[in-house]
Structures are given as structure tokens and as C-alpha cells.
Structure 1
Amino acid sequence: MENKKILRIAFIALLGGVFGCTDLDVTPKNAAVGDVVFTDPAAYKQSLAKVYAGLAIGGQSSGDGNSDISGIDGGFSQYIRMYFNLQELPTDEAVIGWNDGTIQTLHFQNWTSQSEFINAMFNRVYFQVSMANEFLRQTTDDLLTARGVTDAMKADIKQYRAEVRFLRALSYWHGLDMFGSIPLVPETNPIGTDAPGQPEGGKQDVFNYIESELLAVEPDLGGAKKMEYARVDQAAAWMLLAKLYLNAETYIGTKKYTESLTYLNKIIASNAYTLDPVYGNLFLADNHKSPEIIFPVAFDGTYTKTYGGTTFLAHAAVGGDKMKPSDYGIDGGWAGLRITSNVVNLFGPADGRGNFFTDGQSKDIPATPNTSFNQGYAHPKFQNVTSQGSPGSNSTFADTDFPMFRLGDVYLMYAEAVLRGGSGGDAGTALDYVNQLRVRAYGNTNGNLQAADLTLSFIIDERGRELSWECHRRTDLVRFGLLTVNDSNDPRAIWAWKGGESAAGKQTQAFRNVFPIPAAALTANTKLKQNDGY
């Protein structure tokens, strides 16, 4: 297996860099992707690779140069880096030691619609949508026939289209989760068409669209783990459906835990994935070998030279006087990311998932997060070294893939859906799945639970232990009623500097469970309506 083949393809001068993006209407600036480009049959797979690459790189040239998103650096605005910032910095799982622009407002939870980081994430979603739509416009049956595409190639393109529709649904899901009611851009809209407003049915229509797209493409995707590495298969679609349904009560006020279990069971029954025997190997430079990862965003230090993605996660987690960058396969620490004491306290002393660097670091963060890297434990979870201890291929740019979906999450989602009353699963199986994660974490059965221990309160804490820094925390805390205000005064709803006033933290207002529609988008598109509270 060529471990990162799909993203290598993306860098062979794909489409001459034809996909750019404006800041406001988030449609490609250039659309020279018609008959001239697609006269070569290989261009279809290259164009597919470009849509995948939109998750991994931030610009049209090496090192994120010629940014996809105008008005912000390509590396700063790379998809996974922006997703991490919005999913982790507003929570107890991460603070950052920088003062770039409005970045501190993310942890303080006092952001506004003027935030360049929120704007960049919103635009990343629609840049992906625009690329997907253009691919789909250029691969209709009529166009393929007119170009004389063979039947065999048409069969391949049918699968490519299913993958692209999945990738579009993934970005729409990110948009729904972070922004609530968002516009749905018809793929038939030619470049330059006025951007639509939010659908009349709001979040329900967005939810329905994502669901219908995933159900429609499922039959045309490859079987679980039957595809080239890092390409979408049926298990990825099942996972996204399961996540959509697990959060349905948050999104649309309707419980769909049974539906979530239906698709979690499909993943498990496929027998295509097993837990990685070594937890830490999931986050190393050769994690493409892991049997656990269902869908990664692939990175390669030679071919995907981005300052976002796992390059950001590896470098930003290293700093201070005690940490040696070479131990983590990198050429220097950026002294940025740390973790709050709330999350540190979730881990028992024998839990092997608690990868914290404490030498020279205080556990607490008494001053504001951007004051000193030494406040808060470092959490070098993502590293640019292999499971054999060798450095990655490039000490500046990481080889480590980002595990968007993996089996450990499936097991915890299964347990949660059962506890929330979903049918199609049972408590005994849920307990077994959780204990499998605990055995891996502890190296023995000392951390195993009894049936009475498996509660929703345990699940949110276990998700913090198992999935830290994997871009789940904000979504999880919203679902558990802990991100902003908490009516039962659960102490877990408060962490250092939440609210931005003091190290003690405070509860914040519920409207911050979603981000605002960016002011720039509202200015450019008067059809958009701002979210309540902003």
C-alpha cells in the first residue's frame, strides 16, 4: 500500500492551481476546469485528489503559499488547524500561548462575528463545498458522454462522485455543528452565481440534506477498508451518519440514538477495524499503519508542506526550556498549546493516555494563557516520530496523519447511544467496548469498570481521556450541556479562563454553543441571518 498516495497525486500541478477562493462568497475565483482540463482521463482522479487535499493544505503552492482563502495566511487558515482552534480552544482541553489577532477570544469564549479565525473556518467549509460542486458539475453523465469517456472510466467516476459528495457532506456537517443554520449551495449553480441564504427550514433542512447525501452515496462507495489509503469508504459514511444522529437532539431537537447505533453496528460488524494495540501509535508519523483509523486526513512531510494540520499540532505543543524538539521529530517548538488542569485531573496515574510534559510546567494557569508557555502542562500527543522512534521525513513538516474517525470513538459513541436510550445495542456490549479501551490505556484490567460505573457522566470524562485534541471536545461539551452555562452547576462546566475574566473561570451564555455567522459573510450576502445572541 502506498501510504499517502492520494495526497501525493494532489501535488502534481493539479489543475494548474485553478481553485482559488474569495473571502466573501467563497466560490472559486477561476473555473478553468472544463473540457480543456478533462480531455485527459487522468484528470478526473487528479481533480478528486484536489478535493481531498483541501482538508490537508492551505494554499496553492508549497508551504501554504498563495492561500486558498484571501485575507489570511494559508498555513494559519488550513482546514484542520482552523477546525482544531474552534473545536478545542473554547474548551477545557486547550489554551494557546500566542496573542495573534483575536485568538485568545476563543478560549475566553468572548469572540465576536469579527473573529478572523471564525471567518476562516466558515470560508474553509465553503471552499470545500465549492470545489466539490465544481467536480460534480464537470462529471455529469451528459458531459462524460460528450467527452467520449469510456464505460469503464464512467464506473470509476461514479465512485469518485460518491467520495466527493461525502467530503461535501463532511464540511456541511462541520458547518452545521459550529454555525447552526448555514446556506446550502446547489451544485448546479455556476461559478459567480449569487450565494444563497440559509434554508427556510433552518438547521432541520441542513440536517436532512447531509443525511440524504450520505444515504444516497453509501452504495457507491468502496467497502470498509477496501479503498486506497485515506480515501472515503462506506465505513466513513456510516461514521458520519452515526455522528449526525448522535448529535441530532442538539441540532434539531429530535433523538436519533437508535439510528446512530444502526450505523455504529455496521462499522463494528464489518470487522475491518481493530483497536491499535498501542494507543500512542495512533498519533505518530507512521500511523497510516494503524488498524484503527477509519478515515484520516493524510499528511506527508515531503508532499504536504503545510504549517497547519499535524505540523501545527506537533510544533505548537512543544516549548519551554525543558522540552527537546528533536524528541518529537521536529526542528523547533512553537510554544503554543497546553492543557488545563481540569483535563489533567481526568487521568489516573496509571492511565497511559495521559501524555503530559510536566518538567518546568505548572499544572495551573494563574495568568492569562498567552503569558507563558510554562503555565499549564504540555500535551505532545501528536509527534513527528515513528513507532520505532525514527524521525519523520521532514523535521519542519509532519508525516503524521490526522485521525478524523477511528474505532475508539465508535466504541464510546456506542456506549453513549445505549445510555441515552437508543435501541439496537445493549449495556453489556457497551461495557465490554469501554473496558477494551481501558485495558489498552492501563495495560491490564485494573482500570476496568463495573456495570454500575458506566454512566453518561463517566462517558464525557472518558471521551476527554480517549479523544483529547482530536477535535471532538466542543461538540461533546455542547451535547452534554457543559460548554457554556450549566443549569445543575456541574463544576466541569468551569475551567481556567473560561469567560476571560479570571483564572477561576465562569459559566458563559448559552448562545455561544454555536459560533456567529462571520460579519464579512453577512456584509457580502444580505440574505444571511445572524445567529441569536450575536
Structure 2
Amino acid sequence: MKTSNKTINKWVFTVILLVITANFNSCTDDLNKLPQNTLTNDKQYNSVEGYKQSLASVYSNLVYNTFLRFYWSMQEYSTDMAVSTWNDGGDGIYHELAWSADSPAITNVYNASLSIITLCNNFIKESTDDILAARGFSGSDADTIKQYRAEIRYLRAYCFYILMDAYGNPPFPTEANLGTSSPEQIQRADLFAFIESELKDIEPMLADPRTNERGRPDKAADWALLSRMYLNAEVYTGQEHYSDAITYSKKVIDAGYQLETHYSWLMLGDNYLNTNEFIWTINFNNTDITWYGTNFLSLGAAGVPASINGMSGSWNAFRFTQQIPALFPTSDTSIDKRAQFYTNGQNLEVNNISTSTDGYSAYKYRNVNRDGSAITQNNNYGNIADIDFPVFRLAEIYLTYAEAVLRGGTGGDMSTALNYVNQIRGRAYANDPNSTEGNITASDLTLDFILDEKAREFYWEAQRRTDLVRYDKLTSGSYLWAWKGGIKEGRAVDDKYNLFPIPTADLLANPNLKQIDGF
């Protein structure tokens, strides 16, 4: 169990779970009502403590909602990174790139994101300067609530980013139309501009980098989200922002983050210790019961036994296609220590998607401490994870900087980009970012190399789909993997599958929504 004092108070989560409905039946219904709190807003928001409780309710929805598990499925099953044994919630249609507006799987992230946005909108509406003054808040109390409000706006921006990236033109509920059953639809480029504006506006109000409680966003989290958006801006808006990606990457780098020395430490049960590298995390603790968190990532990896994953036997839920191990020099950690592939009883090639032994697995996520010791399970199940999920970590920022330089962005240089990439590889090859083992030369540093390096560094961290879209490799025939498009050798598919459609249920309920082309 985690003992770090840099965490949102656990009792806050307990209170919120009693008063917040974490899952909603319909996205459209969500927008037609305020969060289901047993207290009126005037009573809930009559103290700083009350505001913090409501702040925690949003964080708890990232943990207890279906968000992380289904977002991971959307980002990884639709690529070469994973095939699903279970076809859990329709995951099979992801890998085949064959979804429709009626597919149940596509509603999960859509509904979860909009549910969180609804909670954010209520908080934002109840924390304006006028309302704080009317409720008698002033001085440090008012400043504290204003920081909470900035964090809530960040969380809303993050969820809107997910919707923009995955669905293109989603509905646009804000505090101004809270309670409206039919919010207007926003175009992707306009949503990009809104998120960009929000993140820049809240920056001064957020805590300085590395000074906030664990799991709460700060200025560096703000810059990290901007850098990720700017790297993908041409996909979202038709206009490139590579110079901006460099600018905001440098802001994060200059804040004093460093790579952790061991790659194997990144996804362990005590990874709350990774304060050098982690920028913003979704936090998990085995006292808090959820089947939608990082226990899925540890237990879901096919074949990995309890003696390795630190909890219980494998659920045999997912494996890699053979294209991912091929990116590494070996399928074990003897050269590149990131190659944490589990091969016992597993075949390299995926001949059948639903056969749990087809495809190598990995033991990247392990619910143990750095020293290998077991973590006590404070629950009745014995298989709840303590592994925090890093939404942003420094290695991504280094690779964003390098890719943006290669794509012609200004404000950076190739020498620095090469140094950042070689630090990542030094850690991978020698448990030392300053090692020259694994070093590449300037001529090796190409865009294709960056894409492969991201796959090696960030496998199973919910980034692959977005990366492949940016490189025009998700739907095109320029890169094929096993069972892409529903055939073993892989095939190109319609470009419409670079996006997910608005779910049919919401289209029927909200006359303001129009479907994207092709669905």
C-alpha cells in the first residue's frame, strides 16, 4: 500500500464514492442533469473542504470510471500493439478496423469523457469570482479554490483532447450550457483552439512544476498536453505547429525532470517514487476497488504468472502482434531492457486472434516494489493494482522535441534532439541515461526511427493509435500488421477509420450532432 503523503486524501475519495454516481447510462442524459450529489450546490460548496471533495470526485472518475481501461483498448487494440482474446466489449472490431456507429465499444470512452466533463462544468460554474465572493471566500481560501478551478479546467481540457483525437467533432458541453440536453457540436479545429486557449489561460493559476500533490496537474502537465497537441496539430487542424511543440517541450524539460535510471521501475506498484520522470499520473491504490485500472494491464497480459505480475494468474486478455517484437534487437532484456516480453508458452505469430497463446506477451506492468518485494493487498480480491498510470512522462517530451525538430520546427536543434534520444536509449541499454550504449548517430535519427522508438518506449501506454495516425500508417497500406483489416497478412482500410464515429444513440438523441463522413 502506498504511504506517500503527496496524494489526494483517501477519505475524500470515500466520501465522493458515496455521493457521486460514477457511471452514467447515457451521455445525452448526463448533459441533461447536474451531477447526482445528495447535497445541493450551496451546501456542497460552502467550504474549501467541500470544494476539494468535488475536485476529488473528478479525479475519482478517472480511476473508478471505465475511462482508462477502455481508452487503452481504443488506442492499442486498433494497432499492432495488441490483439484481444476476449473481444471484451467488442474489442475485436478495433483490431480489424471495422467499427461502426452502432458498435458498443466506441461508446465507452465517449460516455466516460463526457461524464467527467459534466462534473467539471458543474465545478467551474460554482467557482466563479462572483460566486466565491457571494459565499464569503477571500484571501488564501479564495486562492486555493481558484487553483482547484484551474485544475478542473485542465481535466476538462484533457477529456476534450481525448474526444478531439478520437471522435473529431464531438458535442461541446460547457458550464454555459450545463443542463442542456442537446449541446452544439464543435468542429475539430475549433475544439483545438478552445483547448489551446484554456491551457494557456490556466497556466499561471496552476501549481509550479513538481510542487502539487501526486496525481494533480501542475504547469508542467499543462505544457506536456500542449506539446502533445501541437505535435499532432496538422491532423487536428490542417496546420502544423511543430515550433510550438518544441517550445512547450522545452518548458517541461527546463523544469528539472530527469529520466529514471531503470526502465523496469516505470510500471511497478511503487512507481509513485518516479517523481523525476512522471509529469502527471492517474493514481491507483489496492484499497480502492476497480477493475478498470492498471490491474487490467498487469493481469490482462497473456500467460504472465502471479509470481511475476505480483497479484494472481493471468486473465489472458491480450498479446502483441509479431510486428512489435521485431522492433527490438532480441525478444528478451539481454540487450534492450525494454524488451520485457513474456514468451513461455507463447507463439511469436498471431495465427488466431482469439487464441491466448498466439502472440508474445509482456510483464511491463508488475504490482511489486522496486526491490522485488510483494505489496500487501488491502482488499478481499487479492488482485487490485497499486501501479499509477503516467499520462505524461519525460521520455515522451524528449521524443516530441526530436520529432518536431525533424519535421522542421524552429527553436530546437538536431544535436539536442539526438542527445535526448540517446539518453532514452542509454537508460534502455545500460540502466543509465548517460551511457553511450545504444547510442545512435545523427544519420540514424529519422522520422521512422522516432516512430519505432516510441513503440519500443511506450508500448501498452495508450499512445500507439495517435502516433500511427500522425504518420499516416493506421489505415494506409504503407505499414501492415497481423490481422489489420481482418486478414492475417494485413491490408489497407478506408481512411474513415482514422476516427471513431459519434455513437448512434447520441445522434438520435441530439439533433445538433452530425456524423463524420463515411459512417
TM range, smaller chain:
over 0.9
2:123 is aligned to 135
Correspondence 1:196 to 2:198:
no
CA distance in 1: counterparts of 2:417 and 2:441, whole angstroms = 11
1:275 is aligned to 259
Normalised by the size of structure 2, how large is the TM-score? 0.93
Candidates 450, 460, 465, aligned match of 1:469: 460
Displacement of 1:506 after TM fit? 1.1
2:269 aligned partner, one-letter code: A
2:36 is aligned to 30
1:160 is aligned to 148
Correspondence 1:495 to 2:481:
yes
Displacement of 1:15 after TM fit? 7.5
Change (3 A) 1:43 1:409: same
Alignment of 1:507-518 (within 5 A): 507-518=492-503
Correspondence 1:13 to 2:15:
yes
Runs of 4+ with deviation above 4 angstroms: none
Alignment of 1:223-262 (within 5 A): 223-262=208-247
1:102 is aligned to 90
CA distance in 1: counterparts of 2:484 and 2:17, whole angstroms = 45
Displacement of 1:228 after TM fit? 1.1
Q: What per-residue deviation string (whole Å, max 9, x for no partner) do you get for residues 115-166 of structure 1? A: 2221011011101110100111111222222222242210100100000000
Displacement of 1:318 after TM fit? 3.9
Query: Helix, strand or coil for the counterpart of 2:491?
Result: coil
Give the percent of matched residue pairs that are identical in Structure 1 and Structure 2: 42
Give the gaps of 5 or more residues in structure 1: 59-77
Displacement of 1:180 after TM fit? 0.5
CA distance in 1: counterparts of 2:261 and 2:518, whole angstroms = 46
Displacement of 1:462 after TM fit? 0.5
Question: Could you say what the CA RMSD is over the residues aligned between the two structures, in angstroms?
Answer: 1.5
CA distance in 1: counterparts of 2:420 and 2:294, whole angstroms = 28
Displacement of 1:5 after TM fit? 2.3
Change (3 A) 1:10 1:339: farther
Candidates 435, 438, 448, aligned match of 2:439: 448
Correspondence 1:182 to 2:170:
yes
Contact residue 308 and residue 363 of structure 2 kept, 8 A: no
Correspondence 1:529 to 2:505:
no
Candidates 374, 377, 389, aligned match of 2:360: 377
Query: Helix, strand or coil for the counterpart of 1:516?
Result: coil
Alignment of 1:401-420 (within 5 A): 401-420=388-407
Query: Helix, strand or coil for the counterpart of 2:341?
Result: coil
2:376 is aligned to 393
CA distance in 1: counterparts of 2:306 and 2:97, whole angstroms = 31
CA distance in 2: counterparts of 1:132 and 1:361, whole angstroms = 44
Contact residue 231 and residue 241 of structure 2 kept, 8 A: yes
Displacement of 1:438 after TM fit? 0.8
Displacement of 1:294 after TM fit? 0.4
Displacement of 1:309 after TM fit? 1.6
2:320 is aligned to 339
Candidates 195, 200, 217, aligned match of 2:202: 217
Displacement of 1:415 after TM fit? 0.4
2:468 aligned partner, one-letter code: L
Candidates 348, 352, 356, aligned match of 2:329: 348
Mean alpha-carbon deviation: is it higher for 23-32 or for 160-169? Answer: 23-32
Displacement of 1:3 after TM fit? 5.0
1:327 is aligned to 308
2:484 aligned partner, one-letter code: K
Give the gaps of 5 or more residues in structure 2: none
Alignment of 1:116-127 (within 5 A): 116-127=104-115
Displacement of 1:411 after TM fit? 0.6
Query: Helix, strand or coil for the counterpart of 2:501?
Result: coil
Contact residue 39 and residue 147 of structure 1 kept, 8 A: yes
Q: What per-residue deviation string (whole Å, max 9, x for no partner) do you get for residues 83-140 of structure 1? A: 1010000000111111334221111111111122210110111011101001111112
Contact residue 485 and residue 507 of structure 1 kept, 8 A: yes
Aligned pairs, number: 499
Mean alpha-carbon deviation: is it higher for 46-55 or for 417-426? Answer: 46-55
Candidates 269, 293, 310, aligned match of 1:285: 269
CA distance in 1: counterparts of 2:293 and 2:182, whole angstroms = 29
CA distance in 2: counterparts of 1:396 and 1:449, whole angstroms = 41
Mean alpha-carbon deviation: is it higher for 85-94 or for 383-392? Answer: 383-392
Displacement of 1:413 after TM fit? 0.6
Query: Helix, strand or coil for the counterpart of 1:413?
Result: helix
Change (3 A) 1:366 1:18: closer
Normalised by the size of structure 1, how large is the TM-score? 0.91
Mean alpha-carbon deviation: is it higher for 26-35 or for 409-418? Answer: 26-35
Mean alpha-carbon deviation: is it higher for 261-270 or for 100-109? Answer: 100-109
Displacement of 1:533 after TM fit? 1.2
Displacement of 1:179 after TM fit? 0.5
Contact residue 119 and residue 520 of structure 1 kept, 8 A: no
